[in-house]
Amino acid sequence: MFRPLTLYIAIFTSMLIFIISGCGKDNSVAPKNHRQILAMMGAKGTEAASEQDIQQYKNIFGRMDADGDGQLTEEQYVKNSRHMNEMVRRKIFAATDRNKDGIATEAEYVNNRIITDEAKSIYEQMDKNNDGKLTKDEFKAKDVFDEFDMNADGMLTLPEYLRVWGNWARE
Ligand SMILES: [Ca+2]
Ligand SMILES: [Ca+2]
Ligand SMILES: [Ca+2]
């Protein structure tokens, strides 16, 4: 004799198995390690910086750090750095002061310079037509181009690129 309850239980069980197995399967592609992507683009990372470069960055820091206590406040940095204008200097300071305590230490400064200068030189190598911008064609890691292109206009400017690069390089 046909027993509907058994049928319902059978259907319910098979649906449950289907749902559980569906949940267990991870269809999303594992996100690539950001630092691996940077390495693929030619980044060697902070460990690869030469003693010469590090010393040079320390010297620049020392010139800005007038009282020689190894610390720069934002105001000292804005006053003493040689970057274009105040707004740019404040942005660079914010990127440098990684732990957001309002002080750029020598170590933070050196670290930021190593990362930024390497990123810039890779940017310049990719910019084949030297117009200061990168198209997707010029960009080496095409599958993450959109993550760099913050305003989604199909072009990368140096500040856009540095913002993402700076975060990834410190992961
Ligand atoms: Ca700090
Ligand atoms: Ca270009
Ligand atoms: Ca853009």
**Ligand minimally distant from the alpha carbon of residue 94:** 1
Identify the nearest ligand to the CA of 150 by its number.
Answer: 3
d(CA 125, ligand 3 centre) in Å: 18
- Ligand number nearest CA of 111 is 1
Q: Which ligand is nearest to the CA of 133?
A: 2
What is the 52 CA–ligand 1 centroid distance (Å)? 24
- Asked if residue 113 has pLDDT above 50, the reply is yes
Using pLDDT thresholds of 50, 70 and 90, give the confidence band for residue 51: very high
Ligand nearest to the CA of 106: 1
Bigger pLDDT: 110 vs 18: 110
Residue 65: count other Cβ atoms within 10 Å of its Cβ.
20
Mean pLDDT of 74-92: 90
Statement: the pTM of the whole predicted model exceeds 0.85: no
CA 70–ligand 2 middle distance (angstroms) = 39
- Write down the mean pLDDT value for the chain: 87
How do residues 20-37 score in pLDDT, each as one tens digit?
554 444 444 445 699 999
CATH class of the domain comprising 34-41+50-169: mainly alpha
Classify residue 27 by its DSSP letter: -
Spatial separation of the C-alpha atoms in residues 69 and 65, rounded to whole Å: 7
pLDDT of 76: 93
